[in-house]
Amino acid sequence: MQTNPRPYSQSRALWAITRASFKAIFANPSAIIFSILFPIIFVLIFGAFGNGGGPSYRVALEQPVDTADFFYKGLRQIPGVRVVTYADTTERRKDLVKGRLTAVLDIQKTTDSSDKPHYKVGIRSTTASSNTIYTFEPALQLVKLMLEKSMNEGQAEYVEIGEAQIETVRRYRQIDFILPGQLGFSILFSTLFGIAFTFFGLREQLVLKRFYASPVSKINILLGIGFSRLFFQLLSVIVLLLFGHFALNFTLQHGIFTFLEIILMTIIMLFLLMGVGLIFSSIVKSDTSIPLLINLFGFPQMMLSGTFFPVEVFPKWLQQICNVLPLTQYNDAVRKISFEGLSIIDCWKEIGILGIWIALIYIIAIRVLRWE
């Protein structure tokens, strides 16, 4: 009696392709070094920046001050001082809590009968700026002495500098800025290189063509090869997060829940990068063109997405470009989740922009994807 053949199992085919691709990754030691060891080295190097050299003071003003005023000019003459303006107090508050601002100054000016100005200066800061506020206060006293010396014949006090009101907040360490940027930097380049070269090699060796002619679903072929790469990148992210938290005291505001939300945010970013890698592997004529395309896509983001330094250092017009880049959204979301303690739902703006990028990227990928 003849029995019917067992139906082809797409799930078993997907698992077999994923497992084989995953083993192929670990057969290449350079992939492990590039994806895990290098980011740890970069975290250690860049995490040490900012501890040397002269102090830098970023201050904001509670209310507008005449820039021609003597006290304002004296303030600007303090070495390292930069007066920052904000469109709203919410952003100013965030920077103050993160230690990006040394202090907020409330400068009140009056005049006496002789038309000599009297200044009353209030200082508001946080413990996040403890490394700069205590050297900034003596610098303000120097401005006070310079001003009073220039207009004081007697012993009258024309400048009253109040004691700094320092609010106790959670300390924002250098690693809390550096590590999210290094996560983005790591997954950006290692995922693009891994996906693009893997799919290009399989296409050139006609492996994809053979898969295409088999009963395996096309989507399972893509997912099987792509998932192995994404799993490997998630492994590198997990190693970096654990190393940063336990070795360098990286902030995970809500512990394991924050850790899991960062992983979920990373999966979204990896899915986007997988689509970019598929596009690059399909449009190139030779593998020598892949690094050029990856660098054209990756290096501007590496420099403009807040990976190594805040986006705020750029001119306003350039910040507008920075704020639409996918890596900027990932970096910002991870920093909000890890340090500020926001949930991934609160990062709806960043996820929405990434969603638009994903839709555009996969529309292009569907049109250009080649199997041979």
Structure tokens, 331: 């970096």
**Cα separation of 245 and 266, whole Å?**
17
What is the pLDDT at residue 194? 83
What is the pLDDT at residue 360? 96
| Residue (of 19, 14, 13) closest to 232 by Cα position | 19
Q: When comparing pLDDT for 147 and 258, which is higher?
A: 258
- The CATH number for 57-167, chosen from 3.40.1710.10, 3.40.50.150, 1.20.120.1770, 3.40.50.720, is 3.40.1710.10
Average pLDDT for 177-186: 89
Domain boundaries for CATH 3.40.1710.10 within the chain: 57-167
Instruction: Assign 270 a pLDDT band (cuts: 50, 70, 90).
Output: very high
With 70 as the cut, is the pLDDT of residue 350 above it? Answer: yes
SS3 265: helix
What is the pLDDT at residue 113? 60
**Cα separation of 335 and 174, whole Å?**
12
What is the pLDDT at residue 33? 54
What is the pLDDT at residue 7? 64
- What pTM was estimated for this model as a whole? 0.70
23 burial via Cβ count (<10 Å: 0-12, 13-18, 19+): exposed
With 50 as the cut, is the pLDDT of residue 319 above it? Answer: yes
**Cα separation of 185 and 309, whole Å?**
13
233 burial via Cβ count (<10 Å: 0-12, 13-18, 19+): buried
Structure tokens, 121: 């200066």
What is the pLDDT at residue 39? 61
User: What is the rounded end-to-end Cα distance, in angstroms, of the chain?
Assistant: 42
Structure tokens, 51: 């501890």
What is the pLDDT at residue 370? 73
331 burial via Cβ count (<10 Å: 0-12, 13-18, 19+): buried
Q: CB-side exposure of 62: number of CA atoms within 13 Å?
A: 13
pLDDT tens digits, 210-258? 766 666 666 766 777 777 778 888 888 998 899 989 988 898 988 999 9
